[in-house]
């Protein structure tokens, strides 16, 4: 997707980008490719592919969730910043936190945020399992996002404890989502979540299938979740 089509397709969805925001995406692309030579951030480096499969794909969350409101967001396992940094570029008023267990990726994100002059952005090197047990962090975010981190039953245990009661968890998933949802029912119930919205979406040009699922945090998560690092993955709540 070239930059003109990127801008046009977002405008069609009501997301208008200024010259400065387009420049921020250009800086993001250049910084990603430069740092990718020193560390493993992404397998995708072709410019048009990055704009489609990372930038546009990340922003597609905003086709189905209202990011124009003041929101505190936590992106779990953002890696090179997806989906939350593209969303933050489009909606600069958001208060953003990212937690990732790989310190090198956190260093990249801190550098990137300074290059992009992002305000109100906070980066934590931690595992979601321990982050979600911190009293000052737990159940504090309006929205928790995650793209491509783990299957839904596992991801729910990492993400739902971070969302405040009445807040949301938004997962961006591939074609396995319908199966994951069936297996994730028990986890959602145990952790206080309920599916509110589910959208199938095909990425333009290459037509691959995506799902965006929004889960409402209806009740407080029992204190024992998330369990200790590695346990959600080893013994999922299925
Ligand atoms: C496959 S990458 C996905 C990155 C990004 N969300 C994307 O869509 O491109 C998964 C990321 O999650 C992080 N991660 C995996 N398990 C985690 C955990 N338990 N707590 C925090 N981060 C975790 C990894 O370090 C990695 O950066």
CATH number of this structure's domain 3-234, picked from the four choices 3.40.1390.10, 3.40.462.40, 3.40.309.10, 3.40.50.150: 3.40.50.150
CA 169 to chain centre: 10
Q: What's the pLDDT score for residue 128?
A: 98
Question: What number is the average pLDDT over the span 73-88?
Answer: 98
Nearest ligand 1 atom to the CA of 127 is: 20
Residues in the chain: 238
What ipTM, to 2 d.p.?
Answer: 0.99
Please name which of 119, 151, 127, 130 lies closest in space to residue 76, comparing C-alpha atoms: 127
| C-alpha of residue 151 to centroid of ligand 1, in Å | 12
Confidence of residue 190 (pLDDT cuts 50, 70, 90): very high
HEC readout, the chain: CCHHHHHHHHHHCCCCCCHHHHHHHHHHHHHHHHHHCCCCCCCCCCHHHHHHHHHHHHHHHHHCCCCCCCCEEEEECCCCCCCHHHHHHHCCCCEEEEEECCHHHHHHHHHHHHHHCCCCEEEEECCHHHHCCCCCCCCCEEEEEEECCCCHHHHHHHHHHHEEEEEEEEEEECCCHHHHHHHHHHHHHHHCEEEEEEEEEECCCCCCEEEEEEEEECCCCCCCCCCCCCHHHHCCCC
Nearest ligand 1 atom to the CA of 58 is: 8
Q: What's the pLDDT score for residue 22?
A: 98
40, 79, 81: which to mutate for ligand 1, most atoms within 8 A of CB? Answer: 79
| C-alpha of residue 98 to centroid of ligand 1, in Å | 10
Instruction: Count CA atoms closer than 13 A to 7's CA, side-chain side.
Output: 13
- The reply to whether ligand 1 has any atom less than 6 angstroms from the CB of 149 is yes
| C-alpha of residue 77 to centroid of ligand 1, in Å | 3
- The reply to whether ligand 1 has any atom less than 6 angstroms from the CB of 173 is no
Confidence of residue 207 (pLDDT cuts 50, 70, 90): confident
Q: What's the pLDDT score for residue 235?
A: 97
- pLDDT > 90? residue 145: yes
pLDDT in tens, 2-49: 999 999 999 999 999 999 999 999 999 999 999 999 999 999 999 999
Question: What number is the average pLDDT over the span 78-96?
Answer: 98
Residue 227 known to bind ligand:
no
- The reply to whether ligand 1 has any atom less than 6 angstroms from the CB of 99 is yes
Confidence of residue 80 (pLDDT cuts 50, 70, 90): very high
Q: What is the reported pTM? A: 0.98
Measure Cα distances from 72 to 44, 64, 109, 127, 168 in Å: 29, 17, 18, 19, 11
- pLDDT > 90? residue 108: yes
Nearest ligand 1 atom to the CA of 105 is: 27
- The reply to whether ligand 1 has any atom less than 6 angstroms from the CB of 77 is yes
pLDDT in tens, 114-133: 999 999 999 999 999 999 99
- The reply to whether ligand 1 has any atom less than 6 angstroms from the CB of 168 is no
- pLDDT > 90? residue 200: yes
Is the four-CA dihedral 161, 165, 167, 168 of positive or negative sign?
positive
- The reply to whether ligand 1 has any atom less than 6 angstroms from the CB of 78 is yes
Q: What's the pLDDT score for residue 137?
A: 97
Distance CA 127, CA 229 (A): 7
Antiparallel, parallel or unpaired: β 163-173 and 209-217? antiparallel
Q: What's the pLDDT score for residue 206?
A: 84
| Domain chopping of the chain, boundaries | 3-234
């Amino acid at each position: 997707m070239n930059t003109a089509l990127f801008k046009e397709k977002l405008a069609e969805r009501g997301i208008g980008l200024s010259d400065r925001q387009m420049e921020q995406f250009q800086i993001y692309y250049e910084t990603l490719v430069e740092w990718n030579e020193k560390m493993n951030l992404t397998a995708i480096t072709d410019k048009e592919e990055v704009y489609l499969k990372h930038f546009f794909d990340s922003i597609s969350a905003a086709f189905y969730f209202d990011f124009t409101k003041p929101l505190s967001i936590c992106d779990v396992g953002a890696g090179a910043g997806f989906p939350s940094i593209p969303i933050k570029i489009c909606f600069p008023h958001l208060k953003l936190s990212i937690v990732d267990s790989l310190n090198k990726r956190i260093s990249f994100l801190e550098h990137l945020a300074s290059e992009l002059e992002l305000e109100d952005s906070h980066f934590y090197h931690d595992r979601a399992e321990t982050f979600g047990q911190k009293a000052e962090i737990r159940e504090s975010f309006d929205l928790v996002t995650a793209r491509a981190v783990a299957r839904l039953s596992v991801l729910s245990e990492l993400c739902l404890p971070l969302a405040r009661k009445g807040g949301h968890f938004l997962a961006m998933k591939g074609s396995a989502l319908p199966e994951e949802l069936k297996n994730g029912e028990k986890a959602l119930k145990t952790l206080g979540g309920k599916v509110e919205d589910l959208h199938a979406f095909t990425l333009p040009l290459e037509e691959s299938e995506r799902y965006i699922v929004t889960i409402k945090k209806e009740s407080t998560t029992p204190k024992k979740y998330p369990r200790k690092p590695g346990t959600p993955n080893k013994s999922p709540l299925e």
